[in-house]
């Protein structure tokens, strides 16, 4: 089964709101404790050219894990994001190909 990815891109009204939300994300994700079947990765990043933009990328190996995390975020993350009311775009997909270059 291919990896399942979700990319969430948020644009906040200012850099302060963005950084506050990133701090909340770091706290909330550090508290995540649901039992999952396989590896699940969350990456949180702030745009280097626009500090008002933030992205989170989820990567799941199992559909059931993706569903568990999706339900958790609805109660634990989205209420905080909604308070900041950023412009938000979400893209969910299955990975078709991966290319890696360099290294050993």
Q: Per residue in 29-55, pLDDT tens?
A: 999 999 999 999 999 999 999 999 999
- The CA distance from 29 to 103, in Å, is 30
Q: What is the fold of 4-94?
A: Alpha-Beta Plaits (3.30.70)
Q: Which residues, other chains included, contact 48 with Cβ-Cβ below 8 Å and sequence gap of 6+? A: none
pTM of the complete model beyond 0.85: yes
**Predicted confidence (pLDDT) at residue 80 exceeds the cutoff of 90:** yes
């Amino acid at each position: 089964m291919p990896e399942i990815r979700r990319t969430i891109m948020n644009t906040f009204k200012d850099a302060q709101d963005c950084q506050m939300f990133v701090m909340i994300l770091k706290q909330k994700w550090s508290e995540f404790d649901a039992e999952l079947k396989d590896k699940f990765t969350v990456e949180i990043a702030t745009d280097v050219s626009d500090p008002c933009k933030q992205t989170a990328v989820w990567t799941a190996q199992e559909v059931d894990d993706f569903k568990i995390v999706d339900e958790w975020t609805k109660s634990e993350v989205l209420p905080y994001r909604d308070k900041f009311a950023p412009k938000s775009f979400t893209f969910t997909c299955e990975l078709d190909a991966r290319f890696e270059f360099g290294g050993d």
